[in-house]
Amino acid sequence: MFASFQKKYFLSDKGIAGVKRGVFWTALTNLITMAGVGFLFLVMAGFVEHLASGADLPDALPIVGGLLVFFVMLFASNWQQYYYTYCIFYEECGKQRMEIAERLRKLPLSFFGRRDLADLTETIMGDVQTMEHAYSHVLGELWGAIIASAIVFASSLFFCWQLAVAAFWSIPVAFAVLYLTRGPMTPVFDRVRAEKVKVTEAIQETLDCVREIRATNQEAHYLEGLNVVIDAEERKTTKGELVNGLLVNSAFSILRLGIATTLATGAAMVVSGQVDFMVMFAFLLMVSRIYAPFDQALMLVSELFVAESSAKRMRSIMEEPVARGSEQFEPVGHDVVFDHVAFGYGAGEDGRAGEKVLTDVSFTAKEGEVTALVGPSGSGKSTVSRLAARFWDATEGTVTVGGVDVASVDPEVLLRDHAIVFQDVLLFDDTVMGNIRLGRRDATDEQVLAAARAANCDEFVSRMPQGYDTMIGENGSKLSGGERQRISIARALLKDAPIVLLDEATASLDVENETVVQQALSRLLAGKTVIVIAHRMRTVENADKIVVLKDGVVAEQGTPAQLKAAGGEFAHMVALQKEAAAWQL
């Protein structure tokens, strides 16, 4: 039973142990509270007896002692309950977030192509938060209340089974009503969540595109769009809350009907002489207490239904197959060989063929040489370089590094041999030093500085207030495009990996900087397998080999001189660029 419960609510072993303890301590707290009521009832019965028949007043000392013991037990039990129903779950949910983030890190990039990023953000933040609240405020409370009331019900059967039934019948009925509404309510909650994802998406988009929105004077249009999705979310949430409120209040009313039935049954039994008035009074006192622990559980039980859906979404990420492979990677040299490779984004998923973006691509990028990929926009250059680093797996043919099929190697192990400079440089809100050190975590300061100097970072970093210790803002917002790219190059240089993938590495540099960085690159790339993507023919004229891609196929390959002489695609591109360079405004 606990195993399916653990799976249903996506709990770790420690989490399920916490639930068990939380339930135990909540039940005990409820029982101690009930025992306190019983104790006060006995004291009061003593007073009533004194008033009725002049019996001795109960002794004060045992009463004070009893109350003291009661308060100490209640405090201790409450404390344990608090720890096991709250503290443990904040830790549990923190761990869940980390587990999901870790899983996402290992998932193939094709997964992110299929899944909406706002939806994933909502799962990591919103769904985990829902679970956090459900675990801490509902699970323990609910089961603790159920167990405590079952024990009290069983004991009260001995005193008067008719009154016990009259007092307790409403608890299972109230829960049954709520449970039956689970089916129709789940789609309502799912719709509310879908609207929330839309709001997150719209806000993310607005923030991501804030520059473009300003530049095109689209503020009013975007705000209007944002308003529409926020309004829709508000409407769906209000509707969901109203339906939920209606059901919960019906359950509350049914629960409280137990007081009326206890009173009516008790009165009838007292009148017919079946029970003593004090027994009826004791039952009335009990019903005034027994429903209280259910109040919060009833109000929030719908959160458990929502939490089930949240757990399902989290499980779907955790069950997503990660890109696997051997951790043993012993290539012979680092030639990168594409052998009749075909590839389509989305191929193989949900049985889809995926539209081919590469067909029958074969070439070798030799160790110690620079292989340049050129071709029109959309011809597949970036895709080829991504396949070399196993960001995706080829759908046909093989990509090998030093004779080893990359599809058989663990992606993390494979990437240790790759240094990559992307077209869109991603920087972290850290110091310049910290950002470069991402290339190699264990690098000394001297090694980081040497890489930075080689990438020509010194010039702009020396103008920064704290030099290499200056924080560069979120995604390097305080840096120019060229500066960001130089940091990224420094990272790659520091990594000193045998294979280097440069994607338009020098696109944001001015002529002066480009020359310096090119020199640094050619010095430091010596001996490596370099695959460079460049649009500008000037950049690739010194390459050892050029592979020209057109519509996903290799149109031609050879040295720059051979290709120019052949007068084919490459020669045509060189001529076009010369023409473009001659243009004047």
Ligand X SMILES: Nc1ncnc2c1ncn2[C@@H]1O[C@H](COP(=O)(O)OP(=O)(O)OP(=O)(O)O)[C@@H](O)[C@H]1O
Give me the residues that bind ligand X (CB under 6 A), please.
113, 345, 357, 375, 377-383
Nearer residue to ligand X within complex by CB, 49 or 205: 205
Task: Look at residue 344 and give its three-state secondary structure.
Answer: strand
User: What whole-number distance in Å separates Cα of residue 215 and Cα of residue 209?
Assistant: 10
CB of 383 to ligand X, least distance (A): 3
Nearer residue to ligand X within complex by CB, 30 or 110: 110
Nearer residue to ligand X within complex by CB, 357 or 370: 357
Nearer residue to ligand X within complex by CB, 156 or 382: 382
User: What whole-number distance in Å separates Cα of residue 121 and Cα of residue 226?
Assistant: 18
Q: How many CA atoms, within 13 angstroms, populate the side-chain half-sphere of residue 516?
A: 16
User: What whole-number distance in Å separates Cα of residue 497 and Cα of residue 413?
Assistant: 12
Q: b/e per residue, 238-253, with b = 16+ CB within 10 A?
A: eebeebbeebbeebbe
Q: What are phi and psi of 353, to 5 degrees?
A: -80, -30
* CA-to-CA separations, 172 to 132, 165, 176, 254, 298, in angstroms, rounded: 26, 11, 6, 10, 11
CB of 180 to ligand X, least distance (A): 45
Nearer residue to ligand X within complex by CB, 370 or 547: 547
CB of 585 to ligand X, least distance (A): 24
Question: Are 82 and 157 in contact, with CB atoms under 8 Å apart?
Answer: no
CB of 531 to ligand X, least distance (A): 12
Question: Are 421 and 480 in contact, with CB atoms under 8 Å apart?
Answer: no
CB of 140 to ligand X, least distance (A): 45
CB of 346 to ligand X, least distance (A): 7
CB of 116 to ligand X, least distance (A): 14
CB of 421 to ligand X, least distance (A): 14
Nearer residue to ligand X within complex by CB, 30 or 379: 379
Question: Are 309 and 193 in contact, with CB atoms under 8 Å apart?
Answer: yes
Nearer residue to ligand X within complex by CB, 128 or 547: 547
CB of 297 to ligand X, least distance (A): 46
CB of 503 to ligand X, least distance (A): 8
In 3D, which of 137, 8, 121 has the Cα closest to residue 84?
137
Nearer residue to ligand X within complex by CB, 234 or 349: 349
Task: Look at residue 90 and give its three-state secondary structure.
Answer: helix
Give the tokens for residue 320: 């997503």
Give the tokens for residue 524: 């430091």
Nearer residue to ligand X within complex by CB, 235 or 538: 538
Q: What does DSSP say about strands 553-558 and 545-550: parallel, antiparallel, or unpaired?
A: antiparallel
Nearer residue to ligand X within complex by CB, 169 or 345: 345
CB of 574 to ligand X, least distance (A): 17
User: What whole-number distance in Å separates Cα of residue 404 and Cα of residue 335?
Assistant: 10
In 3D, which of 505, 557, 508 has the Cα closest to residue 533?
505
Q: What are phi and psi of 470, to 5 degrees?
A: -75, 135
The alpha carbon dihedral of 379, 382, 386, 391 has a sign of: negative
User: What whole-number distance in Å separates Cα of residue 85 and Cα of residue 293?
Assistant: 14
Nearer residue to ligand X within complex by CB, 138 or 505: 505
User: What whole-number distance in Å separates Cα of residue 119 and Cα of residue 79?
Assistant: 37
